[in-house]
Structure 1
């Protein structure tokens, strides 16, 4: 086998291969031998690894005759895409943790695996060590998945957890996450939702057998989450979590395939009674709702060298077994071809906190705007604040476009001093 990349994850893969070589050989039915490791720099110290394994010629490594499979952990789009395609063209199976590439151009990789009869496994690309993708691809292949809902980014979960449990501000919680190694020096991919959106695209593709890319995912990060949002959630006995949501939207005529799929990532309030509310610190958890299996929850460490390497080793054993047995794993299919619906057509709920003038008729005026946009109000609470008042409105489910238009209209009203908080509400029927 060949390894592309030897950073935190790659080094862990090498360590596990070395320490568990006898067990892995017994499980596979043949020894797993590392033929070479492609790196950018040969002069970097890598303790405990034979320097003779390193090469900067990744292209030659992935096509060598003594290489049966390739593990890619360099990340990014290029040269990872080209190297994986070259490997598969040469008949090598590929294991990757590259969520960004799978979310942007997974279709090309899956097509190459089909064309050249190789395996493409990628369990480590979503939720670290949590066995999630294989159950979707294999265990639930005979079922009808309706919804996937979860926390798939440990950095943002840690930040929001600190804001909820310790009253920390966003910047303070982010700095702490960086000091603990949960967040990168440049945390943009995490806090702006790009990482979670890539994972949501991969999950939706598997769950609904439909081509979904990161560009199809509605994405909002947590940088705008305020203390007022967190306090409002507490008053509702809820917490704020960055959620990845993939769901099949039912067809009006009841067709089993559905009208399309909705894939989105955004911060939302969920009740403290919901299992996802208890997911603390940098952990991940994902709910899968299927027609026959019901609700399934997957929970565990979602990032880090050791958890990610564990998922890679699981794929490695599976692919190696296929090679020894002369077989091939499941081939990715997107036969459903369901359209990805725009966010405006997604049905959701809103929590809206308004600072308004404290005078008669205010509540009626606000309620009239909701009614004008055909948004039903589920609950309302008003509290006097001197000459002003705080008004909290929680809606019933409605198209997101109608809810958004309602909020924009409220901002224009003279009686509304400020729209202090707007957040979606999930986890309730």
Structure 2
């Protein structure tokens, strides 16, 4: 029944209604302003009754934004009172137009259609009533009846036109408000989608940076623990590798945090030149990758492709350290339009290596890396090996 509006709008509506009442209801009361003034004062209506109906109609206009349904009901009461006393069309009837506008602009869908029916039906009823009662003649013969009918038709058409136009203006404003709401919802959805993409990117980058380094640290720590008693120098070397890997991971995390404070493209990103460092870290963890590059890169690949290749190899080698037996085969094929990546590692034990589709962030991250540059990705167990394949277009996203 009542809409939630600001106090400012409510005060403005009330002040506007008071001004509207003063301008429309006060003019006919000025002596000598028109024949209507003498009709009101000397006719069947007293001045106080005339003012009362004006207050009712403009009171409805004052609450039209707050409660369009209540305002429409009050406006109908005022119109019925006006016609029941034989009062002709007067300027304060403009308040009814305000109410019809409000029903279409701020009312419910049902109320909007009720307002349209009121505009059409009220205009026809008002035109017929005022055409008969205010024609100045009694309907006594065919000529007077014809004049009354024509007057009713003319006034009815004018009333319907004015009321429907006011109601239609409210519908137009309703469409404007709905368009604004749709645009705001779309902007909010875009913001939420961007935030979700950013969260996914953060999770992917954090996993790529931290998981690989921790896998190397764990492998080195396990080796140092077993070698500490028989070969202290090996344990010392392993501890040095752990410290070096931890420092590199800390540097990567700091770089990632710098990117998060600014933009994704800020700060250096891994390139093909960093692959040798990656392979060296894997060797230090006890895994010796057999690397084949055929054919060689035809030129300088795009930065996004280099980053995707690096991250996919990093995650695949991390999985080989965790689940493999130390044997890894890496193949890179740089074709003119694409790069093909294949990583194979033997699976130890019962073959409990991760499978694409299971709850593993690493495989999900590799697939997203490939898809972001328009490529494809697959991971599966083939016999006793776990195989990761990716194809990335060098020419850009497909």
TM-score when scaled to structure 1? 0.20
Which structure dedicates a bigger proportion of its chain to strand? 1
Which structure dedicates a bigger proportion of its chain to helix? 2
